[in-house]
Structure 1
Amino acid sequence: MLPPGLLDLSELEHRAVSFRAVEMLAVPGIFQTEEYARAIFVSGSPGVIDEDLDARIEHRVTRRRIFDRNSPPGCEAIVHEAALRVRYGSRKIVRAQLESLLESRCTRPRCSSAPPLPGRAPPQPGARHTAPMLTGSLRLHRNPDRAVVGLHGFPGSERA
């Protein structure tokens, strides 16, 4: 069974004309490969039964179908360098995930100190810096009639 928060996120993505995602420690869920998503769910939810785990993974992977529509939503993903360095699963899984991310249709990854270039991400902060959202993510979904901001991975929120 899927938590209601996951279904809410899917509904927002389905209705969105554009969205932005900011991730600090993982590739955004909508761009995750099946193996990468499985590695994240297994490490983060050790008590989840296999049927629920399979349902969550299938849900996460099928969310990207929104990009196959005649008018797919615009997308901008900002992925922190730390998310690209954290190894969820084997090297093979991470390599496949990074290759998939480079080939994704979200073509405007950004670096905080450079213009939009494919494959760029904000650099790791120095020792004196603290990222305010180090454990969470932020999403902005723009629908024809409104914009919705979602915080995920914080106490009281469901990670999608």
Structure 2
Amino acid sequence: MPPVSNPTLRQRRLGAELRKLRERAGFTVTQAAAHLGVNQGRVSMIETGRSPLSADRVAAMASAYDCVDEDLVSALSAMTGRRTRGWWEEYREHLHAALIDLAELEHHATGLRVALAMHIPALLQTTDHARALFRAVVPSMRQYEIEHRLTHRIKRQGILHKESPPPYSAIIHESALQMGFGGPEVARGQLRHLLDMGELPNVTVRVIPFGAEYYPSTGQSFDYVEGAVPQLDTVQLDTHHGGCGFLDAEAQLAKYRAVLDHMESCALDTTASRDFIQKLGRDL
């Protein structure tokens, strides 16, 4: 199969995980190539996601690297082949590549946990709220850019409504709920939408009020995207330049899981959170 000139996040992640297996086995690229019967360039292309792989090749590499984690090997094998021609591909020429990667990442997620201090989670935003956010971006977006971002965001929200949707847990600080993007009417509509989304069986919305004694976060928003196995989880960080940062090192994943667990421990439960959002809506 010819090399991939522009590998997706999923293809790059497969290569990175195979590199981790090689390094744990104590193999250099040269040694791995000799063991696998390929040249060094092929190993390098595999590890950067630029060489399409078959499930059999992944299994052979895992065996060569003495990986006995059958669940991990099975999950990696499921990531093989050419990129999925999902709906996000139509935006590749219009949006930052990281936003395309994020949509693909969410599409394959087995669960999502998000924490936000200043904004409503993207997958829970109304169209009017999202449009108001995009109009406030610096530097200003042109109208067609806003519409591309808006339709992309709304299509991302489809994962919460598909057949067998992934569980979605959102921890939202009161400061995000108090932000009046778009004016009072838009803000009220957004709060009503949060209440409606919280009624879905796969969606959990919990609030951390200003009065909480403990808030274990620096205020940065992040998504924790669960993979088929814990080793394939990913943390997505929002960045000021409009893209997305992705973290997948084991220590980083453990840190953000701990942060989410602590945030959940100081958040209101779902019933109290619902009452809290309802009161904010009445007070607007």
TM-score bucket (shorter structure): 0.7 to 0.9
**Is 1:133 the equivalent of 2:231?**
no
Larger radius of gyration: 2
Partner residue in 1 for 2:236: 150
SS of aligned partner of 1:87: coil
Which whole-Å deviations, capped at 9, do the CAs of 1:74-119 have from their partners, x for residues lacking one? 1100011000001101111111111111111353223xxxxxxxxx
Give runs of ≥4 in structure 1 deviating > 4 Å.
128-132
**Is 1:15 the equivalent of 2:108?**
yes
Residue from 9, 12, 28 that aligns with 2:121: 28
**Is 1:65 the equivalent of 2:158?**
yes
**Alpha carbons 2:116, 2:176 under 8 Å: kept:** yes
Deviation of 1:48 (Å): 1.1
**Is 1:96 the equivalent of 2:189?**
yes
Residue from 104, 109, 124 that aligns with 2:205: 109
Instruction: Determine the C-alpha separation between the residues in 1 that align with 2:203 and 2:141.
Output: 34
Deviation of 1:2 (Å): 1.0
SS of aligned partner of 1:54: helix
Deviation of 1:44 (Å): 1.9
Partner residue in 1 for 2:167: 74
Instruction: Determine the C-alpha separation between the residues in 2 that align with 1:29 and 1:77.
Output: 10
Instruction: Determine the C-alpha separation between the residues in 1 that align with 2:148 and 2:195.
Output: 26
Instruction: Determine the C-alpha separation between the residues in 1 that align with 2:233 and 2:143.
Output: 35
Which whole-Å deviations, capped at 9, do the CAs of 1:25-48 have from their partners, x for residues lacking one? 111011111110010111124521
Instruction: Determine the C-alpha separation between the residues in 1 that align with 2:211 and 2:153.
Output: 29
Instruction: Determine the C-alpha separation between the residues in 1 that align with 2:138 and 2:236.
Output: 21
**Alpha carbons 1:151, 1:157 under 8 Å: kept:** no
Aligned CA distance change for structure 1 residues 131 and 158 (closer, same or farther; 3 Å): farther
Instruction: Determine the C-alpha separation between the residues in 2 that align with 1:69 and 1:88.
Output: 28
Letter in 1 for 2:145: D
Aligned CA distance change for structure 1 residues 141 and 129 (closer, same or farther; 3 Å): closer
Instruction: Determine the C-alpha separation between the residues in 2 that align with 1:79 and 1:55.
Output: 26
Deviation of 1:157 (Å): 6.0
Aligned CA distance change for structure 1 residues 91 and 71 (closer, same or farther; 3 Å): same
Q: How many equivalent pairs are there? A: 147
Deviation of 1:156 (Å): 5.6
Aligned CA distance change for structure 1 residues 45 and 72 (closer, same or farther; 3 Å): same
Instruction: Determine the C-alpha separation between the residues in 2 that align with 1:92 and 1:14.
Output: 32
Aligned CA distance change for structure 1 residues 23 and 48 (closer, same or farther; 3 Å): same
Q: TM-score with structure 1 length normalisation?
A: 0.82
**Is 1:37 the equivalent of 2:130?**
yes
**Alpha carbons 1:27, 1:84 under 8 Å: kept:** yes
**Alpha carbons 1:40, 1:88 under 8 Å: kept:** yes
SS of aligned partner of 2:205: coil
Q: TM-score with structure 2 length normalisation?
A: 0.48
Instruction: Determine the C-alpha separation between the residues in 1 that align with 2:244 and 2:187.
Output: 20
Letter in 2 for 1:70: E
Q: Which runs of 5+ in 2 are unaligned?
A: 1-93, 246-284
